Every structure is written in structure tokens, then in C-alpha cells.
Structure 1
Amino acid sequence: MIHTFKYCYAEWIESLKKTNLKDVTILRHKQRYEKYIAHSKWIEYELKDISLSIIEEWANSLIKDFPKLTTQEWSNIRSILRGVFHLALVHEYVSENIIDKIKLTSRTLAKKRNNARKKVFLLHEEFIILEECKKDFKDSGSFVPLAIQFNLFMGLRVGELLAIKWSDICDNKIHIQRQYEKSIDAHGNHCYKVVEYTKTARSGQEDSSDRIIPIPEKAQEVLDVIKELSEKSEYIFYQDGKLITTSMLNHRLYKYQKIRGISPLKSSHALRRTYASKLNYYGFNVKTIQSLLGHRNVETTYKYIFDLEEKDSLLSKLNSTF
């Protein structure tokens, strides 16, 4: 048996299916492999014959071929390479994993600009979204705008939000312990399912996402409305015989933003960043914000914090300061 990269990649993908890695994550690995790696000549080489120079030459060419390739996307590609070579190392097809030795000599990878307007709802925009949610609920009776309101006050991952059960609530606190995630069914179609773990539970490290957090009064008011009107379901955000989905939240949010002229359009994940940024705005310690968000490290939390004020407002404050 000749252990080529192509052969070991297929073996690696099969090994991932036996882990608790999400089906969607495995699908993304496959998509990136097809886009960036599958057409390379060296995947037909035996792994022990693939040198660091071959991989580095390919990697630098890749950056030239994909000028918008970001640091994050390169990291995702490298994860595939690292995984395949690690499997080969375990099976003694190679004597070392060369992937971490790769050094890029091409131009710097593209970096995404952290523009607050693209990441969070500014203070005046948050007010507009809340207005639209209240109007929408009054007109339609849908729980989707209530879910959006609730998460502006709670800052949960969308998957955590949609998987909350009434039994998770006790003494004005909520236990975040599961998530509603995208998956692939037996026919290869996208679907959603509730799983009894949170995002960081898969890592083998401490599950920082499994947490108990307080429910502020405004969030409790939303729950009270749902409780009064909801069907007999164990789930909170459940209506018309099914759970609310991420796409339903995004559809509503985009609609509100288009109606009120908010640009650029922001997805439901912006609710979580807005929550973190607002806590920071009102002086919460970053370690407290980290705990509420369920981040494993504070560095991740800092990436969720943005300025919530318009430049004109900041200038006015600066002028009054000096």
C-alpha cells in the first residue's frame, strides 16, 4: 500500500466521523480540501516523500492564487494538513509532522478589518432594533422578534439561545448546557439538531461554555411574555410545532435593518458582540464579560468588544473633555 497524501486525507476524514466533531465542520474540511488542495500534484506523492520545501512552495503559490486569503482561512487549511500528517505520524507512515515548520515568504495574508459598524449594533441602532422587535411581535405574534430582544440582553451564542429549556431556569439564573446546531442527515442534506453539550465541550479541556448566568429584568420580561403565550413545549423558543432557527433570526434582523436604513447589514451573531461591547461600555470587568460569554480565554473576549458610539459622538465627548 502506497500511503499518499490523498489516501491519508480520506483516512483522516473517516477518522473524524468517529469523533464528536460536528458534521458541518467535517463538510467544511472537505470543501476547503477541494478548493485549495485537491488539484495539487503533490497529493499523489507518498507522504514520506513530501518535503517541507514542497509544502512551502505550494503554500506560497496558494497565497498568490488567492489574494484575499485571510490569516483565519490559512489556519483552517493548515489544520487539514496538520491533521493528515498527524495521522500519518501515528501510523508511522512518516517520522515527523512537518506542517508546523511551514514559513510563508509570500506577501502578508489578508486581514479582516475590525470595523465596529460591521460587527455590532451601535447604541442608536440597538434602540432601533428593539423598536422593530416590539412592533413586529405586536403585528405578527411571532416569537422570533422576542428571541432577538432576549439575546440583546443575554449575549448567548445563537445555538445556545435556541436550545434553552424552561427547566434550565432557576432563581433568576439560566444554565447554558446544550446547543442547537447545523448538521448533515443520512441523505447528506443540511438539518438542525439539539445536542447535549456546548461549543467548548468537544475540546477535551474545561467546558467554559457550560455556565450559569443571571437573567436581567428586561430579559425576564421577554420570558414572561413567552410563558403566557407559548405552547406546551420544554423549549422556550418553540412555535408552530418547531424550534426557531438561526436563518429565521437573520431574516428578521436583515428586514429590520433594511426598513430603518442600518448599513452594513449585521447577522444574529452581532447581538452577542453588542452585548459584550455594552457590558464593557458600562464598566464591567473583562474577566466578568469572559465568564458571561463562556469564552475559554480572555483574548477571545477582547475580540468581541467594540466601540458602540458614532465617531461624531466620540468627537463631542473629546471636545467637552479638553
Structure 2
Amino acid sequence: MTLDFTELFKVDACVSSCSNSMINTTGVLESTDNMKKMEILAKYGHFIKHYGTGKDSYYYFRIPDKTIKRGAFRRKKTTREEIESALCDYFIEKEKQSSTGKDMTTFEQLFYEFMEHKKEKVSAGTIRRMMIDWNKYYKTNTDFIQKPYKDITPIDVDDFLNNIVNTSEIKNKAFCNMCGILKQTFGYAVSARYISANDNPYRVEVNRKKIIPTRKKASTQEVYNNSEKQLLLDEMNRRLQNNPTNTCILAIMLDFELGTRRGEILAIKNSDIKNGKLHICRQIIDDYDVSDINNPKLIGYHAVEYTKSDAGDRYIPLTQKAQEYIKQIQRINKETGESYQDFLFVKDGYLINPNKLYNIIKDACNRCINIPIKGTHRIRKTFVSTLVNNGVPITTASRIAGHADERTTIKNYLFDTNDETETNKAILNALGDNPESSVTTTYRNVENKNVTKRDSNIILFPSNKKAENPCFTRISH
């Protein structure tokens, strides 16, 4: 057999040509990638910073990005090559996302973008409460929050909400707060023109029977009865004798006469007290550092010139006892030299921390008078209940408490301030078990006192009634 070297050389030349073509193509791609990286580094290389010396040195960059947690993309590397590669990878990925023409932003990324917007509009305390709900109910549902928000359908929302209802014993109020995050986040997407209102998938279709209703707690848990109130006031008086310049104690005693919110009583100024009335028009709020939105940190507190709601701006008539407390506080401030912007309650030249009042009450209830712990909000409920139980109209009590409407007062603030013995006695009296002290007997006694001898001689005539038709039934033949 004779070999044809001519054909062999042709085949070898073809293979060599294809190999060179593949090498050249690879080289072109590598050259293009390198040019792209050089372009990125020329444009964004200033983000890279170098810190430290020797073995402790490192490279770091931070790129603002609202679609990412904490509002920025961060990387830290030990070599220049690694940090440059990470920077280029980030911008190349961003370019790929934009070139596809489809927004792949996840619901989680949209939420953090929304929160960056939200924290400019509301208090830091609100941001903190929303993040607590996010961490509790959303972060555990990764399949939902990692899905591109534009791909989320109403059915996805149904499945997400029903999963929470079915797997957690969630109460009605907590469920409403949790849903608020979903509603507001998609509402933000509509406002930002990311999606149309018709594309908003938010809705609530769950089995509400599985949601624990918010039930009104027992009076024993929510208010001080008369004996408990007296025990606490006696303990406060005892402590005041041992520490006569402690105005925090007087703030607790005064609150039984005012029924204010915990931030309102400590924000009172001397100029708010006029003509036997107290003007409630400001409050103390907590300050949180929310620069790291995942970890809000309490950093202090300050007074603001507004109340919880518009209805919170109100006037409260001062009892004689309230006026005595206020004069005593003003006298202590004058003797100790405590002063800060005309505020009534001052300690070490600044406002008093609202948590201080609760800590005093907690210590007194636990260690001294041995009753259930009931903080300043329970004092407020005791005040409102006392007003209504003593004949003050609910409308007036609601206004004095600074509620937006009477429903809040009725649903959350009306309780029995009597102890069990007093309550049982009142029930039995009302049912006629003790005729001498029943309401009917009392009314008759009062009525008889007003009857004169001349009145007794009046002859009562029977009242004329319209004659009834004797044929009121139909007779059938």
C-alpha cells in the first residue's frame, strides 16, 4: 500500500489552521475581557482603599447600592489583584443584568431600598419595629424574599401569608403589622414607577380563623384596683421621705392624676401649666442609630414638639392633689438647682429617661408591696377607667386621654378598678340580693325624701288609653 503524502500534508495543514483559529479566538476574548476590566478600573478604581501595613494590611471597597442590604456592596481582600477582580466582577454582573432587559431585583432587595426611603420619613423607632417583624416573619421565608419581585404573583402572596398563619400562632395585631411590610414595599414599587398599580400582587386571602384574635385582658392585669393603687402610693411616699429630691417618684404619683403617656409626663414644661389646666403638647421619644438598618441601636432620647396623634394635643384639668405635686417638684428643682429648658422633670441637667419610671414601679411591686407589675401605661388605663366609672362621659374621657376616637377608649381602656370583693358586692346589690342598698331602693328613698305632705294628698287618676279594637283577629267564614 502506498501512502499519499500530498493528502496527508493537506489534512495536517487544515488541523493546524483550525487550531490557530481557536487560539486566536481565545486570545481575542481574553483581550476583550482585559480591556473591559481596564475600563472598569479606570472608571471605578477610586473606590478601592488600602489600609494597614505589613501582614495586617488589606484592600477594601464600598459601592453605594440601594438594592443590597445595608445600602452598599462591600468587599475586603488581602491583595490588589483580588480586590480588583472583585470590583470588576461586580460591575460586569450589573451590566449583564441591565443588558438582559429584565429587572431581576429580588423582593428582599426591593424591601431594603424601600427602607432607605422610609427611614427619611418616619421615626427611628418605627424603623426598628419594622425590622423586628422583617427578621421574624420574612427572613425565614427565603423562597419568597429571594424571588424577583416582578415575578411575584397574588398566588405567591397567598402562599406566603398562609404559610405564616399555618406555622405560627400569630395574633391579629402582629399579623396586621407583618402584612404592612408587604403592602408598603409593593406600594413603594408602584410609587417609584417600577410596576403599575394593576401589577401590584398584594392582597390578603387567608383563613382568619387561624389568626388569634386580640382579646381584652382581665382588669386585674390591666389596671390598679383601689387597694393596689393605695399600696403603690404609700410606697412612693415612703421612698420620697428617704430620698426627698427624687422627682421621678413624684412623676409616678402625679401620673395617677393626669393619665398621660409615659413620654408625655416627662416632657411637661412649667409654661404648660396655666389657670388650673395642663397643656399636653409634646413628648419624649427614643433615638436610634439606623445607619445599619439591620441593627438599630438605642443612643438616647429627646423631646419633640408633637404628640402621638393630633388628638394628643389637649388640656387636662388639674386636681388639687396634682397641683400640690407640681408645686413640690418646682420647689425641689429650685432647691437643687436643676434646670433644663423650662422642663418640669430634670435630672443632672437633662431630661429624665422614661424607662426610669418603669424601673421604680417594677422594683416597688416586686420587692416591697408584692403585687403584679403594672407600668405607667397601666396607670394611664387606671386613670381613664376611674373617670368613666365615676360618671364622666366616654367622649370626655377619650378627649382627656388624647385618643383619636371613643372606640380606642372603649376597646382598650375601660376596666373595673374595684377588687374582686367590691365587684361581687356591686353585682349582688344590682341583682337585688341586698334590697336596702340596691339601686331601686336607693332611688325610692331619694324620691321619698323629696315628697312633701301636700304631695301625698294628690289623687292619681288612671291614664286614658286608646280603646283597642276587639275584632283584631280576622274571622274566616
Tell me, yes or no, whether TM beats 0.5: yes
CA distance in 2, matches of 1:158, 1:98: 40
What's the % identity of the aligned pairs?
A: 28
- How far residue 194 of structure 1 moved from its aligned partner, in angstroms, is 1.1
- Once the two structures are superposed, the pairs formed by residues 1-322 of structure 1 within 5 Å of their partners are 1-19=103-121, 21-40=122-141, 41-67=143-169, 69-96=170-197, 97-99=200-202, 101-105=203-207, 107-110=209-212, 111-141=214-244, 142-185=246-289, 188-190=296-298, 191-200=300-309, 207-230=310-333, 231-233=338-340, 234-258=342-366, 259-263=368-372, 265-302=373-410, 303-321=412-430, 322=432
- How far residue 46 of structure 1 moved from its aligned partner, in angstroms, is 2.4
Q: Check whether the contact 1:155–1:272 (CA below 8 A) recurs between aligned residues.
A: yes
- How far residue 310 of structure 1 moved from its aligned partner, in angstroms, is 2.2
**Count of residue pairs the alignment pairs up:** 312
Deviations 1:174-230 (A, max 9, x none): 211111011214775312111111111xxxxxx111122221111111001011111
Unpaired runs of at least 5, structure 2: 1-102, 433-477
CA distance in 1, matches of 2:136, 2:394: 39
CA distance in 1, matches of 2:350, 2:223: 29
- Aligned to 1:184, the other structure's residue is in SS state strand
- Aligned to 1:307, the other structure's residue is in SS state coil
CA distance in 2, matches of 1:318, 1:43: 55
Deviations 1:17-67 (A, max 9, x none): 221x11011011112111110232121222232122211222121123222
Q: Which amino acid aligns with 2:226?
A: L
State the TM-score, normalized to the length of structure 2. Answer: 0.63
CA distance in 1, matches of 2:272, 2:188: 40
CA distance in 1, matches of 2:287, 2:201: 32
CA distance in 1, matches of 2:396, 2:297: 40
- Aligned to 1:273, the other structure's residue is in SS state helix
Deviations 1:240-279 (A, max 9, x none): 333222221111111221211212x212111111110110
Unpaired runs of at least 5, structure 1: 201-206
CA distance in 1, matches of 2:259, 2:204: 38
Q: Check whether the contact 2:124–2:290 (CA below 8 A) recurs between aligned residues.
A: no
Task: Name the residue aligned to 1:203.
Answer: none
- Taking only aligned residues, the RMSD between alpha carbons, in angstroms, comes to 1.7
Q: Check whether the contact 1:64–1:106 (CA below 8 A) recurs between aligned residues.
A: no
Task: Name the residue aligned to 2:18.
Answer: none
Q: Check whether the contact 2:152–2:201 (CA below 8 A) recurs between aligned residues.
A: no
Task: Name the residue aligned to 1:204.
Answer: none
Deviations 1:140-188 (A, max 9, x none): 1211110001111001111111111111111111211111011214775
- How far residue 319 of structure 1 moved from its aligned partner, in angstroms, is 2.2
Larger radius of gyration: 2
CA distance in 2, matches of 1:48, 1:232: 56
State the TM-score, normalized to the length of structure 1. Answer: 0.92
